[in-house]
Chain A
Amino acid sequence: DGGITQSPKYLFRKEGQNVTLSCEQNLNHDAMYWYRQDPGQGLRLIYYSQIVNDFQKGDIAEGYSVSREKKESFPLTVTSAQKNPTAFYLCASSMVGATNEKLFFGSGTQLSVL
């Protein structure tokens, strides 16, 4: 079945450590996104990519980095510069070219600080 796979489901970060969240899709979508979800808040866009080897900052990119070396993969690194990383992270994908295209989401990664 086609879909988006995020791993791990739970992740713990120590002080000063970088951690990487995985996101893989087999939907053949060109666009991929990373969102951050905090309790009681909506989703905030961290980074997005419309095509391989290209990505753009979203609304809250500071302290995060991404790469898009393959169409299927869009990993997110939470760096030590992100001082408040505890949140639920959601990866999504969509077709590109029409504004009415829906987003397909993975099941998320809960990141906590030790």
Chain B
Amino acid sequence: GNSVTQMEGPVTLSEEAFLTINCTYTATGYPSLFWYVQYPGEGLQLLLKATKADDKGSNKGFEATYRKETTSFHLEKGSVQVSDSAVYFCALSGPTGGFKTIFGAGTRLFVKA
């Protein structure tokens, strides 16, 4: 079945450091890929998405590229801020799983001033 694997946290960085959170997936066909972010005590909100191979999703300085050849969707940001501290979830939906979304375990990011 479909699955998502992301790097374990926590990840601790200083402000203005470069961020990479690795995400790989297993799926038949061409799923849609997502990054969601969860701030303390809140629900998840969509950060970015990509729906086909080589697409790049981007939002608020974060980027991720849909790599079919390596089945990856790594999240990157060039310069993190304290306000980026949160839990980040990689996720996929379809095609064989229908519209249901499957989530990775989440990666907690701490950014120090």
Contact = CB atoms under 8 A, between A and B. Distances in A.
A70 interface: no
B100 A102 contact: no
Contacts of A4: 43
A99 B36 CA distance: 16
By Cβ-Cβ distance, the 7 closest A-B pairs, closest first, are: A99-B94, A105-B43, A100-B32, A42-B103, A42-B105, A100-B51, A102-B46
B93 A99 contact: yes
How many chain B residues sit at the interface, stated as a range, is: 20 to 34
A94 interface: yes
Contact of A99 (B4, B32, B104, B105): B32
Given A105-B44, A107-B43, A108-B42, A43 B99 contact: no
Contacts of B104: 42
B32 A108 contact: no
Which among B46, B101, B105, B106 has the greatest number of chain A C-beta atoms within 10 A?
Answer: B101
A100 B106 contact: no
B110 interface: no
A35 B103 CA distance: 10
Contacts of B105: 40-42
Nearest to A58: B100
B83 interface: no
A106 interface: yes
Contact of B99 (A40, A98, A105): A98
A48 interface: yes
B100 A45 contact: yes
Nearest to A103: B101
28 contacts: A4-B43, A42-B4, A42-B89, A42-B103, A42-B106, A43-B44, A43-B89, A43-B103, A50-B99, A58-B100, A90-B44, A92-B43, A94-B99, A96-B99, A99-B31, A99-B93, A99-B95, A100-B93, A101-B99, A102-B46, A102-B49, A103-B36, A103-B46, A103-B101, A105-B45, A107-B43, A108-B41, A108-B43
